[in-house]
Chains A and B, each alone.
Chain A
Amino acid sequence: MRTWLIVGGVVLLMIVGFVFFQGPSPPIIVAPEVVFHWGGLNVTNTMFTSWIVVGLLVLIAVIAGPRMSVVPSGFSGVVEAALSAFFDMAENVVGERNARKFFPLVATIFFFILLSNYIGLLPMNNIVGRPEPGVGDKQAVLQQASFAGIDFAYIPLNPTEVDTGAGDQILLPEGVEAHGAESGHGEAIERTTDGTFSGIIAPFFRSVMTDVNAPLAIAIFSFVFVEFWGFQALGFGYLKKFFNFGAILRLRPSGLIDVFVGILELMSEFIRMVSFTFRLFGNVFAGEVLLLMMSFLVPFVLVVVFYGLELFVGLIQAFVFAMLTLVFAQMAVTVHGDDHQEEETGAAH
């Protein structure tokens, strides 16, 4: 009986939300918006959020670090448990000696991506931001407010859409310069006085990995470290994997295949980096678009299901990134296994 009441309530809430509270569809913007300027630097919202993530990680380390003891307890115990669970996993994959070498980078990647994905799921993202003029015929009507000297815009409880008419008029809040006019839209500006405006929000906070630069930066880091470890372990013999001219200099025709395989190996190092980038960016960005769209289609309840899904995706993607870095690092430090060297590398495993 109670179960049916809850189910009925949920369905009713979804229907009411769908009929009465359906808002205008959110704009999907791939490039991160510039939030403020700091010196000559255009600080985008993803950068700003990533600073918060880094700050949180540093805070956790500062709080938990000095309290690490033989008998862990409290907060530092939780941190230690998470770290040692991850270390055990890394040890399982690459063995203890290599795990000690790779762990700092791999764990940093894992916890940074995990925390930024989870912070990206907090409801502060994509809701509060700088008012910006929109483009197009149909624009959302948003609310503008000011707090502690900072002008910001937010989505009202029951947002509506306005037809600006043939896309030639945009309504701007007071005190906001018309960016649209200078960027060549050539639209007439009309100011409203009741605190509402039509347009879009350039959010202050945005999930870090929805900016393609962030996964690319981590992928480059991972690439550089993998190559560095390869050189460290094998010296210049590491390059033999890519430039294998030994057989062809002895005028054996099979050497051509070696050279070709070397080119493929070299290509795969770079392709790996791009594939890292787009896997993480694609998953997180698609997740954010999914959440936005679901919450605007069916405002209540249904989006919770997708939040659960995104929690899972955030963990999986962080883990995949870290684990693949670990696996590739392991591949780089082991002697390249040609067919005649198979026994040797087999023993090293």
Chain B
Amino acid sequence: MWNNPAFALVGIGSYLAVSIVLPTLLGRFLDARYETDPALTLLGLLLGLAAGLYGAYRQLRDFLRRANPPSNGRGS
């Protein structure tokens, strides 16, 4: 069980959650500070969504590459 390469994916859930919530909250904080509501909140949300999707995709890609040896992993 411990040596399963899928174990590297346990962090993917909390990564996705934090990557969306954190930039959004940061944007909200900056909005309140510089009175640019709601531009920075939206920017943070979009960046967070992009970072979450991209990071999750990368972790999944690394896992797939490790699970399927590169000889037949051309489709990744």
B-contacting residues of A (Cβ < 8 Å)? Answer: 89, 92-93, 260-261, 263-264, 267-268, 271-272, 274-276, 278-279, 319-320, 323-324, 327, 331, 342-343, 346-347, 349
- In this complex, what residue of A is CB-closest to B8? A327
Residue of A nearest to B16 (CB): A275
How far in angstroms is the closest Cβ of chain A from B41?
16
- Report the contact-size class of chain B (Cβ under 8 Å from the partner): 20 to 34
Measured CA separation A324–B54 after assembly (Å): 18
Task: Give 7 CB contacts A-B under 8 Å.
Answer: A89-B3, A267-B47, A268-B19, A272-B11, A275-B17, A323-B10, A324-B11
Interface residues of B in 40-76 (CB under 8 A from A): 47, 50-52, 54-55, 58, 62, 65-66, 70, 73
Classify the interface of chain A: helix, strand, loop or mixed.
helix
Chain A residues with CB under 8 A of B50: 260, 264
> Within 8 Å of chain A (Cβ to Cβ): is B34?
no
Identify whether the interface residues of B are mostly helix, strand, loop, or mixed: helix
Chain B: residues with CB nearer than 8 A to chain A? 2-3, 5, 7-8, 10-11, 14-15, 17-19, 22-23, 47, 50-52, 54-55, 58, 62, 65-66, 70, 73
Q: From known contacts A346-B65, A347-B70, A349-B70, infer whether A323 and B7 are also in contact, taking CB-CB under 8 Å.
A: yes
With A93-B8, A267-B51 known, 5 other A-B pairs at CB within 8 A are A268-B15, A268-B55, A271-B22, A275-B14, A346-B73
Task: Report the separation of the CA atoms of residues A324 and B6 in the bound assembly, to the nearest whole angstrom.
Answer: 11
Tell me if B11 and A271 are in contact (CB < 8 A).
Answer: no
Shortest CB-to-CB span from B64 to chain A, Å, is: 12
Chain A proximity of B20: nearest CB distance (Å): 9
Kindly provide the distance from the CB of A304 to the nearest chain B CB, expressed in whole angstroms: 25
Which of B18, B22, B65 is in CB contact (< 8 Å) with A349? Answer: B65
When chains A and B are docked, how far (Å) is the Cα of A312 from the Cα of B26?
A: 34
Q: Distance (Å) between the CB of B38 and the closest chain A CB?
A: 20
Q: Considering only CB atoms, which chain B residue lies closest to A86 in the complex?
A: B2
Q: Which residues of A contact B3 (CB under 8 A)?
A: 89, 92-93
Q: Within the complex, which residue of A264, A276, A279 is in contact with B55, where a contact is CB–CB below 8 Å? A: A264
The 3 A-B pairs at the shortest CB distance, nearest first, are namely A346-B70, A275-B18, A268-B55
How far apart sit A260 and B47, CA to CA, in the bound complex (Å)?
A: 10
Q: How far is the CA of A93 from the CA of B7 in the complex (A)?
A: 10
Smallest CB gap from B76: residue in A? A342
Q: Which residues on the B side are within 8 Å of A272 (C-beta)?
A: 11, 15, 55
Q: Which residues of A contact B14 (CB under 8 A)?
A: 275, 278-279
**Complex Cα spacing A105 to B30, Å:** 36
